[in-house]
Each structure stands twice: as structure tokens, then as C-alpha cells.
Amino acid sequence: MLKHFLYSPGPTPVPEEVLLEMANPLIHHRTPQFFKIIQENFELLQYIFQTKNPVITITSSGTGAMEASVTNFLSPKDKAIVLSAGKFGERFAEICRAYNINVIEIKAPYGMDVKAEELEKALKQNPDTKAVFTEYSETSTGVAFDIKSIAKVVKNTEAILVVDGISAIGAMEFKMDEWAIDVALAGSQKAFMIPPGLSFISFSEKAKKMMEKSTLPKYYFNLTKEKESLEKNTTAWTPAISLFIALNSALKLMKKEGLESITKRHALIAEACRKAVQSIGLSILPVVPAVKPSDTLTAVKVPAGIDGLKIPSLMRDKYGVTIAGGQESLKGKIFRLGHLGYFGISDIIIELQAMELALKELGYKFDYGKSVFTAQKVIEEHLL
């Protein structure tokens, strides 16, 4: 018997009670019963996003919400600045280009972030910028952008700030209204503890004004239409009913735990994970102290002489623990330990033990058991 654990930075584990919700007989989406689900979800999502803005739920993966954040606010040839230091920042730039947006990409190497000061300079040089796109937690590198400082810079310009919070919102501190974020995105298979298939997008009054003037083509991802539907507790198109129902159950669990407690839990486990892997001589991304790591995943550099592609497959096939490898230029060079969503202090121990076994088998020399013990110590110090 091999027990299985899903510890990727998305999809993340789904609580049993939430899984069972999806096994209930299907209900129709144009019924009072489902209208209530939509209304409750909406209010709970506002709580998670810390906003009074509408939060739209779309039946698509996160990339759909990213596309919606371009096509609903911009018009052809508009100028946009994309802060890019990983695969998902690059995706924003790709989407903008696909829709004929004039993109200025401020690029940093994978593992770094883009600083608010650089953006400020670029905005001064390009006062006609209509939108700034940034990651919060760059899932491909495990780096957290300083979106609070970035938002302060964008706030006093004509541009809107679009934040991809797909692997951050609901796990790391995020205050949409207080921090003056204009458009925020999230995905169901991350902190929201349900399977992939839904994405979330919220927009401010400033963004709404741009939306009214936007002429980029769109149909399925039409937020004006979705907003009107949401006001009647419905959706523009047939929604993924089972996932909406699972979401309702998961959001109630999140509300019960409370945002502050969720954030602290993720921060503690992330700290335990980072100290643990470093205690056995491994390095993580980001590489410099001025850049902050994300609290939802830890990107670990593959040590010299070890076949990086084998770490995730060995952990999964031999020890039942699914993590993620590196993507694009980081393929084989990092592995990513997820600690996100329905993830407790027991899970990080399981994850580290599987990592240690795989590393030992692949020939990495270290003090076996030390990363697990280091994590235990961090947890003990915080809890006892």
C-alpha cells in the first residue's frame, strides 16, 4: 500500500468533506437553491479578497482570468507594463501581445522580482500606460513580489494595477481595497482547496471605468455581462455547478478558520520548509535577501551532480508524494515543494521525509533526518 499525498503548488489537496459535496446529485443552476450558493460564495470571496468590489467566478482555469484581465479593461494598442520574472509574468505579456497591446516588459531573471522603484521609473517615462500587470506569488519560481509597494506607485497614475494572486490569495496577506489593487485574480485549485476549473476576478471602481471604454474583443470572458448576472445571483453562461458547490463548502471552512489564522499557518509552514531544506545544505529561490519568498511554495535548487528531473518522479512513484518540478528554463534545475491550501504541520513533515529519501537515493550527501527535525523545531518554537 502506498499512501498518496498531493503537495504540488496547485492542484492542492481537497478536504474529504469538500470532495463528498461533489458526489451529491447534481442540481440545476437556474434555481433558488443554486442562487443561494452563488450569493454566499460571492460574499465569502469578498471576505477572502478583502474587498467591497464584485468578485466574478469564471468556469475556466486561471489563465482564463488572466485573459479576462487584459481583454476587459484595455483597447487595441493601449500601452501596458508587465513585471516579469517567471513563467506567469511572461504569460501576461504573451496575452497582451495576442491582443495587440503595446507591451513594455520589465524583466528580471527567474528567482528575482521587479522592484517598485523600477516600475516608478518606467511609469514616469510612459505616462500613457493604461495598465500594470504583476504576479503576487510567481508560482514558477516561488518568489513573492512586493505588491504593497508596487500598488503605492501605481495608485497615483492613470494606470490600473492587475495582480495575479492565483497562488497567493487566500493563503498570504492580501487586502485588495486597503492596498489599492484594481484587478485581482485567483484560482480554485490553490488556497481555495477545491479542484481546478474555476477562476476568480475582482475589479475596482477605477478598473470599472476602464472596462466601460474597453474595445478589445471578448465574449465568454465578458465581465460586464458577468457582473450583471452576479447581481441576479447567477452567471452569464452555464457554470461548473459541482465546483461552485465544492467552493461553497471550502469557503465556509476558510471563513471558520479566519484569514489571519490561515495566513499565519501558511507563514509558519513556509518558514519551517525553508529552514528545513537549507539545514541540509540546499539553496532556495529567491537567492538574495532583498527578494522575498512566497509562503505557498518553496523552490529548491537541485544540488550539483543530482538528476533534477528524478526528484519529483521518485518522490511520487516510490513514496506517494506529488510535488512539482521546474518549468521552462528551470526544468531539472529546481523542484517545488507546495505547502498551500489544505496543508497542515503534519503535511510538511511527510513532504520533507519523502524529499530526503529521494535525495539520498539519488546520491546527495547530507545528514539524513535533519530537514525533518529542523521543521519540527521551527513548529515547536512557534506552537509551544
**With b meaning 16 or more CB within 10 Å and e meaning fewer, what string describes 286-306?**
beeeebebbbbbbbbbbbeeb
- 36 contributes a contact to a second copy by CB under 8 A: no
Least distance in angstroms from the C-beta of 377 to a second copy: 30
Q: What is the CA angle 64-340-345, rounded to 5?
A: 170
Cis omega (within 30 of 0) for bond into 286: yes
Cell numbers found for residue 383: 506552537
* 237 vs 368 by CB, closer to a second copy: 237
Min CB(36)–a second copy separation in Å: 14
Q: Which of 22, 122, 180, 306 binds a second copy (CB under 8 A)?
A: 22
Least Å distance between CB 110 and a second copy? 19
The cell numbers describing 325, all together, are 518540478
C-alpha cell at 85: 520574472
Q: Does 31 bind a second copy (CB under 8 A)?
A: yes
User: At closest approach, how far in Å is the CB of 88 from a second copy?
Assistant: 12
Q: Supply the minimum distance, in Å, between the C-beta of residue 342 and a second copy.
A: 10
Q: Does residue 293 interact with a second copy by CB under 8 A?
A: no
Binding mask 173-192 for a second copy (x = CB under 8 A): --------------x-x---
Nearer to a second copy, 315 or 359 (CB): 315
Nearest approach, Cβ of residue 131 and a second copy (Å): 16
Using the minimum distance from each CB to a second copy, give the nearer residue, 70 or 153.
70
Q: Per rule CB under 8 A, is residue 10 in the interface with a second copy?
A: yes
Residue number with CB closer to a second copy (61 or 278): 61
Contact criterion met (CB below 8 Å) for 284 and 278: yes
43, 52, 100, 178: which one binds a second copy (CB under 8 A): 100
Identify which of 160, 144, 83 has the alpha carbon closest to the alpha carbon of residue 117.
83
The interface with a second copy within residues 190-249 (CB under 8 A) comprises 195-197, 216-221, 237-243
Toward a second copy, which CB reaches closer, 238 or 329? 238
Report the nearest approach of a second copy to the CB of residue 136 (Å). Answer: 18
Whether residue 198 contacts residue 244, with contact meaning beta carbons closer than 8 Å, is answered with yes
> By C-beta, is 180 or 241 nearer to a second copy?
241
320 lies in the binding site for a second copy (CB under 8 A): no
Stretch 321-380 residues interacting with a second copy (CB under 8 A): 322, 324
Identity of the residue, 75 or 157, whose beta carbon is nearer to a second copy in the bound complex? 75
Angle at 12 between CA 7 and CA 14, to 5 degrees: 120
Is 206 or 316 the residue whose CB approaches a second copy more closely? 316
Least distance from a second copy to the Cβ atom of residue 16, Å: 8
Binding segment for a second copy (CB under 8 A), chosen from 42-50, 53-61, 125-133, 258-266, is: 53-61
* Binding track over 58-77 against a second copy, x by CB under 8 A: -xxxxxx--x----------
Binding-residue total with a second copy (CB under 8 A):
52
* Closer residue to a second copy in complex, CB, 102/242: 242
Q: For binding to a second copy (CB under 8 A), which residues are involved? A: 4, 6, 8, 10-11, 13-14, 19-20, 22-31, 59-64, 67, 94-95, 98-100, 187, 189, 195-197, 216-221, 237-243, 316, 322, 324
